[in-house]
A and B are shown apart, each in its own frame.
Chain A
């Protein structure tokens, strides 16, 4: 893994230098076929944009297409994908009797494969409570209500390991979050945040990821900001990140006061950004830089 990362870093530096003066770089033409324990799996990493985006773009691309050759390659083989360590940790945690009365995730839910499909449709509105639920919200409800534990930190190890494990169960499923019905007001709120120019730099999500996708800010190749690959192993941080954790970094970089993970604002934004990727595959756990 270490050798891979060093190679990736060197490759990124050389790649960035070669780009100086380049006008635009298309998303790389490549296919994401993953070698895993259970054979190969081809993911949808580009497709027709969902209807609600038709006016602004024709095609949506996973952020995977905007990364260097070595980074893309790491995600093509589970053995090379550093995020798998977190999935494994999540599986250990899933099976452990951690609750106040020795409850475990497995005790109620059986194997983690019972979570198949969840990542593709969340955030979603819970029919009973009317609340917008991320995977973390479901995990938190189990941890605090059923297991009688103190809440886990939203971006702490336990939460993200569990998120990685649950997300992996939906790898290859097509993202299809609902944006109408009870989800509509949350979606509208997320959309408003997406287009608001925050901070002293006065930048919105759209400033970079819609209007300037494909261009470069310094050495950063601007992707569409899709989150179908989250949680992602980010080489720059040498760790796994949830989508909302990445939002914190983006908003901070506009010289703004950020919102917190699990705030109403970032939950709504997660729903909206997820909906911009309706049609792409859930990547389970991805690799970015």
Chain B
């Protein structure tokens, strides 16, 4: 195999399986609600995480949580606790577990699980109101979870 062909092959593999070391939603190991290991092995990007948290179609965390550090983000909701200082209350493994499936940390919580694909009652295809035609993806990708966690750990008191 020529060097060029090998590079092309590697690139094609990378495109087809973008996260070869990614942990699938159903394979995540929780310990008392915590996830110690990164879901991707790739460090999260706090800037990308902030975008996920403040974009309606992505995480939309500000729908329910105030982040006073972001005064320019309008219409912050108040159903959940404010996130300022959250990294002083929880460590990274706890935060990763809470974002992925908070119900394993806070029983019965209102907060949706952002990295979960089964166990739902009448799940739909995103916001179409219709049944999904294929396997349900998690609300956020593994890397988006890592990005959100990377932003959250900056919110120290």
Contacts and interface: CB of A to CB of B under 8 A. Distances in A.
B105 interface: no
A1 interface: no
A143 interface: no
Contact of A211 (B64, B75, B110, B136): B110
Nearest to B139: A200
A129 B78 CA distance: 47
Interface string A209-221: 0011001111110
A215 B75 contact: no
Chain A interface mostly: loop
A65 B63 CA distance: 22
Interface string B82-100: 0000000000000000000
Interface string B120-140: 111111111111100010010
B78 A215 contact: yes
A256 B124 contact: yes
A202 interface: yes
B112 interface: yes
Contacts of B126: 255
B155 to A, nearest CB: 16
B121 A215 contact: no
Nearest to A211: B110
Contacts of A22: 78
Given A196-B121, A256-B121, A256-B122, A21 B66 contact: yes
Interface string A221-259: 000000000000000000000000000100111111110
B143 interface: no
B112 A203 contact: yes
Contacts of A86: none
Interface residues of B, number: 33
B124 A20 contact: no
Given A199-B120, A200-B124, A202-B112, A217 B131 contact: no
Contacts of B136: 200
A107 B7 CA distance: 81
B79 interface: yes
A17 interface: yes
A201 interface: yes
A196 B71 CA distance: 35
B128 to A, nearest CB: 7
Contacts of A158: none
B150 interface: no
Nearest to B82: A21
Contact of B127 (A216, A218, A252): A252
Nearest to B113: A202
Contacts of A19: 75
Contact of A200 (B62, B64, B74, B120): B120
A94 interface: no
A259 to B, nearest CB: 8
Given A23-B78, A258-B124, A203 B110 contact: yes
A16 B75 contact: yes
A22 B76 CA distance: 9
B71 to A, nearest CB: 8
A235 to B, nearest CB: 17
Given A20-B66, A256-B121, 19 more contacts: A16-B75, A21-B66, A24-B78, A198-B121, A198-B122, A199-B124, A200-B124, A202-B103, A202-B120, A203-B112, A207-B110, A216-B79, A217-B79, A218-B60, A218-B77, A253-B127, A254-B124, A255-B123, A256-B122
